[in-house]
Amino acid sequence: MSMLDDVKAYLVANGVTNEIMISRMPDVEPGGAENTTVSLFQYGGIEPEFVHDDVNKAAMENPRLQVHCRAIQDQDAEAQAYVIWNLLSRVVNATLSGHEFVRISPITSPFYLQRDEADRSIWTCNYRVRKGVE
């Protein structure tokens, strides 16, 4: 299971009911079921951390996570971004879907990104992730 799958499962288990997409944001006509979505993206972070006695074996990886929240109304996208921000900020020394997460910490507060081509509001937030290597 990927980090994004682990985060998605955690969000669903903690009450996020919007459709959660991994590595994509569906492009549908206004009024469709996917007007209100959450999209998760993984991007490059910092170098991994290695076991002190074996420089060939990474013990921790440090990817980044970006979460987009889309809704027709600005306040709905913003509210969903803050719900997720609060949930992910609580991930400290936790096991998500059987994988060790040392911490998920926001790099910023949620912020307005843009309106899409169908005039839906997108709010986003970026996170540092520190997790064990399987």
Model confidence pLDDT, tens digit, residues 47-65 = 777 676 666 666 788 899 9
What's the pTM?
0.87
Report residue 63 as tokens: 């990817």
By the 8 A CB rule, do 126 and 85 touch? Answer: no
What phi and psi values does residue 123 have, to the nearest 5 degrees? -110, 150
Radius of gyration of the chain (CA): 16
By the 8 A CB rule, do 124 and 81 touch? Answer: yes
pLDDT above 90 coverage of the chain, percent: 64
59, containing H or E segment: strand 54-71
Model confidence pLDDT, tens digit, residues 6-50 = 999 999 999 998 788 888 776 665 555 568 899 999 998 877 776
In the chain the domains, ranked by start, together with CATH numbers, are: 3-132 (3.30.2000.10)
| Distant-in-sequence, close-in-space partners of 31: CB < 8 Å, separation ≥ 6 | none
